[in-house]
Amino acid sequence: MLDHDLTTLQLIWRERPDLYHSRNPFPVGGVYEDPATGAAAAAFAGYLRDGGFLPAPAQIVIRQGEKMGRPSTLNVEIPAANGIIVSGTAVPMPG
């Protein structure tokens, strides 16, 4: 990632038109993988809307953290214009 000047990336696969699975590695930031990334969910939803990949308004679910034993569910509301709303649940990490 450093060789290509990448800070982060998002690996996505679509199970259904309204259900996506995401993995969010962030090794350059010292994090092996993030189990729940609201900012990445919002950016991905904006990409889907603005790229014309889904008709808006829409609602999608993003499942993340499954492979690392920290499953999260991100509920994403995508209005026809302007912001994105992300809510959901995650497994707390020990501090």
> Each residue's pLDDT tens digit in the chain (95 positions)?
788 888 788 999 999 999 999 998 877 778 788 888 899 999 999 999 999 999 999 999 999 999 988 899 999 999 999 999 999 987 776 76
Question: How does strand 72-78 pair with strand 19-26?
Answer: unpaired
- pTM equals 0.88
Report the topology of domain 2-89. Answer: Diaminopimelate Epimerase; Chain A, domain 1 (3.10.310)
d(CA 83, CA 21): 22
Of 9, 53, 50, the closest CA to residue 28 belongs to 9
Give the single-character DSSP code of 12: E
